[in-house]
Amino acid sequence: MEHKKKVVAIGGGTGLSTLLRGLRKYDSIDISAIVTMMDDGGSSGRLKKEFGFLPLGDIRNCLIALSTKENVLTKLFSYRFPTTKKNPQVGGHSLGNLLMIALSDIYGGFDNAIKKISEILSIKGKVLPITLQSAQLVAILENGKKTVGETKISKSKQPIIKLSLNPSKVRHHPEVVKEILSADMIIIGPGSLFTSLLPNILIEEVSNAISNSLAKKVYICNIMTQPSETDGYSVEDHIKKIYEHCKHKFIFDYVIINKSKFSHKKILNKYIKENSSPVEIRNIHTLKNLAKNVIQESLVSITRKEKYIRHHSDKLARLILSIL
């Protein structure tokens, strides 16, 4: 049998699930998704407050993205109860999140619930939370003030200077380091820099494992800047922030950058009104000192029906496969 290439994808939010949706189509790849656990907004945030439960949203989205059963089960896990005056308790909650709480209770733990859901959805690969420990994000802003919590940080109007975790020493999931060290490729991104990517590599054992791994290290840069998080950031700024927060323990072998022209001006203008703009290279010579190889491809998925600018899952997956 042909040896499968092991790909470890690290991140969270819609970026990670978009990447996984494309990678799952290739039998030659063994996928492990390592997912941030610092979310405190939406359904996940409410369940965290009500039950003291770890955030579930990003894990749920990754499980659905890797599912080989595009049927009623994935629709059920994706279903979100409408918010009305008649159902304030369940309104806004994802059914998948509630099922994960039930399965955690039945099977004795969050990690066991993930394994059980992986079986139910017949996922291709493995999904691991970065930690099973409750933790918060802490940001130091340009004005010197401190902001605590993923939701508040993502809405901050001040530039973020430094990110840390509370508690400062967070235990990684036992399987995470093993997965990283056995990988042929480690992918970081796409995803929110401060709230989806950095929370994972702030855990020292994780950044050490990435550094010690012989895998090809790939950074997929976001297509657009993120209001309140990465206003005015270039590609180089994104990479520098990652290196800063992991004390530059590794260097990316590849950085992948979108170079698509935006034909749908209406959607682009909507982003610009929200203070979001395409992430661009400011200085190619600086960039080449930050990553060994720079790849620029047209990677946008955007149709007239879509409301958001996203990476194209299949184009991204094909590019990853060509690097492998």
Whether 284 maps to a domain, the answer reads yes
Whether 74 maps to a domain, the answer reads no
Alpha helices in the chain (DSSP H): 13-23, 42-51, 57-66, 72-78, 95-107, 110-120, 150-154, 176-181, 198-201, 204-212, 235-245, 265-273, 284-290, 313-323
Helix axes 57-66, 42-51, angle to 10 degrees: 120
Vertex 96 angle, CA 199 and 105, to 5°: 85
* pLDDT at residue 41 in the model: 56
Whether 98 maps to a domain, the answer reads no
* pLDDT at residue 73 in the model: 75
Domain span at residue 18?
Answer: 5-37+173-323
Find all residues with CB under 8 Å of 117, minimum gap 6, and list them: 63, 77, 99, 100, 103
Residue 8: strand, helix, or coil? strand
User: What CATH number is given to the structural domain containing 199?
Assistant: 3.40.50.10680
Whether 89 maps to a domain, the answer reads no
Whether 55 maps to a domain, the answer reads no
* pLDDT at residue 69 in the model: 73
Q: Are 226 and 19 in contact (CB under 8 A)?
A: no
Altogether, the residues listed in the chain come to a count of 324
Alpha helices in 92-234 (DSSP H): 95-107, 110-120, 150-154, 176-181, 198-201, 204-212
Could you tell me the two tokens for 225? Answer: 């800047």
Helix or strand (DSSP H, E) at 310: strand 310-311
Q: Are 52 and 33 in contact (CB under 8 A)?
A: no
Whether 102 maps to a domain, the answer reads no
* pLDDT at residue 1 in the model: 44
How many domains does one find in the chain?
1
Whether 95 maps to a domain, the answer reads no
Identify the burial level of 273 via C-beta atoms within 10 angstroms of its C-beta, where 0-12 means exposed, 13-18 middle and 19 or more buried: exposed
Residue 167, phi then psi, degrees to nearest 5: -70, 160
Whether 221 maps to a domain, the answer reads yes
* pLDDT at residue 264 in the model: 73
User: What digits encode the pLDDT tens for the residues 255-264?
Assistant: 999 998 776 7
Q: Give how far Cα 222 sits from Cα of 42, 55, 189, 196, Å.
A: 23, 23, 7, 12
pLDDT in tens, the chain (324 residues): 457 899 999 999 899 999 999 999 999 999 999 999 987 655 555 566 666 667 788 998 999 999 987 677 778 777 887 776 665 566 667 788 888 888 988 998 889 999 999 998 899 999 999 999 989 999 999 999 999 988 888 888 888 999 999 999 999 998 999 999 999 999 999 999 999 999 999 999 999 999 999 999 999 999 999 988 899 999 999 999 999 999 878 999 999 999 987 767 788 888 889 889 999 999 999 999 999 999 999 999 775 566 788 999 999 999 999 999
Torsion of CA 219, 5, 172, 77, to 10 degrees: 90
Residue 94, phi then psi, degrees to nearest 5: -85, 135
Q: How far apart are CA 149 and CA 275, in angstroms?
A: 22
